[in-house]
Structure 1
């Protein structure tokens, strides 16, 4: 298990040209935040009792420019920081799966420079292929959308692609604690992966009460790292 997170987290979200469903797992983190807790703690007595577990979270929504940026299906979001200006020493980076044609040089530079300075990196769907295009996954065990595994192996043969729902490995990290890379398959596997990450790193009662049960992310199906067939 990773060392406890600090009470303040900076989470960078790479969602430019990304499929919307790949990013919904950030709502799990959002429900654990002090900002969310302040709005809902009066709803249920148990939520108020769990308020000390809430985390001060800053989300940085990253894109090439600060102009409204596209993501599927036809959504545009307002970025809060550019790849050029985004801090490299974040606590967590979450990379969704973008169109294969989306490979801006600014994002490539950000991934290379932030790779060793960010402790935890999470990718969903073909976000791992985006990260692989920066050259930081050479020789690393990871996964991607199951339907794209053969494409990934052809495009990035230097990566050790696994046929799993998600894969967790140690990654380089220049700061305190152990660096971690979590890569998942498609969006559903990505939600399960992020739920598991939260359960392993934060108070379980808090995670279940504020995030998993209210959002009805069911935990009685296949929550493992492996496909059933």
Structure 2
């Protein structure tokens, strides 16, 4: 079997955040910790002098592993959009204007009654063109509603799994913290992946494991994980403890 093509050094990542629970998409902080630090961070470290010398040395050590990320925060319009709660955030593109040929799409969980036609159209058009899809909580149900999970295994928020089975019986809903499935991809090699997590914390752990597979694990541990005070070896794994 041919090896999978490496991820590019500049990633295009879309996050579908409208009407989702904020904690569902917080795994983006892990990915963000892998990018080239902005100039203001470097200037801030330099201003602190010897106290931050070790951090500066670590950044220099992993310079070749740093990635650039272009983030697409997607909603129905460019007006301030809601999470589930009263908090609002500012989108930078819409379902209509967001590119389809991305590297990664991340979906948080939302109510199954929230399905704008333009959002479903985006999913159907972008699913074969984007190599990796990562969902948390009922984000997998959102993906299933577009018909792209039929015949595949998936998981969702544990309390919502019986409803997911009723809504989408052509999907094999399993009781796991996360599930990884191959998918067709129109890029080099023809195979991508869809990673589907249960609740919000399972989603964070899943994105950590995704990154450990796709990037330099030492870079992750020394910078991204260290900055978040996160220790994947202490986290629960892919399966619920019996």
Shared fold (TM-score greater than 0.5)?
yes
Instruction: Give the match for residue 106 of structure 2.
Output: 94
Counterpart pick for 1:111 among 123, 130, 133: 123
Structure 1 residue 205: deviation in Å?
A: 0.9
Structural mapping, 1:144-163, within 5 Å: 144-163=156-175
Paired position in structure 2 for 1:133 = 145
Does the 8 Å CA contact 2:155/2:197 hold for their aligned counterparts?
Answer: yes
Q: Aligned pair 1:164/2:176, yes or no?
A: yes
Q: Which aligned segments of 4 or more residues in structure 1 are displaced greater than 4 angstroms?
A: none
Counterpart in the other structure of 1:31: 33
1:21 is aligned to 2:23? yes
Instruction: Encode CA deviations 1:157-193: one digit per residue, 9 max, x unaligned.
Output: 1111111000001011111132100000101110110
**Aligned partners of 1:204, 1:37: CA distance in 2, in Å?**
24
Residue 217 (structure 2) aligns with: 204
* TM-score, normalised with respect to structure 1: 0.95
Return the alpha-carbon distance in structure 1 between the equivalents of residues 21 and 134 of structure 2. 15
> How many angstroms does 1:218 deviate by?
2.5
How has the CA–CA distance of structure 1 residues 182 and 82 changed in structure 2, closer, same or farther, with 3 Å as cutoff? Answer: same
Unaligned runs of at least 5 residues, structure 2: 47-51
Deviation at 1:132, TM superposition (A): 0.6
CA-to-aligned-CA distance 1:116-145 (integer Å, 9 cap, x gap): 000000001110000111111111111111
Query: Hey, what's the Cα distance between the residues in 2 that align with 1:99 and 1:127?
Result: 9
What is the root-mean-square deviation of aligned Cα atoms in Å? 1.6
Report the counterpart of residue 181 of structure 1 in structure 2: 194
Aligned residues: 229
Gaps of 5+ in 1: none
Distance 1:219 1:95, change over 3 A: same
Report the Cα distance in structure 2 between the residues aligned to 1:122 and 1:2, rounded to whole angstroms.
Answer: 18
Query: Separation in 1 of the partners of 2:193 and 2:230?
Result: 24
Q: Quote the Cα distance in structure 2 between the aligned partners of 1:26 and 1:111.
A: 19
More helix by share: 2
2:233, 2:38 → 1: CA distance?
26
Structure number with larger C-alpha Rg: 2
Please give the per-residue CA displacement for 1:26-82, whole angstroms capped at 9, x wherever unaligned: 011111111458725754121221122110101100001111110032211110100
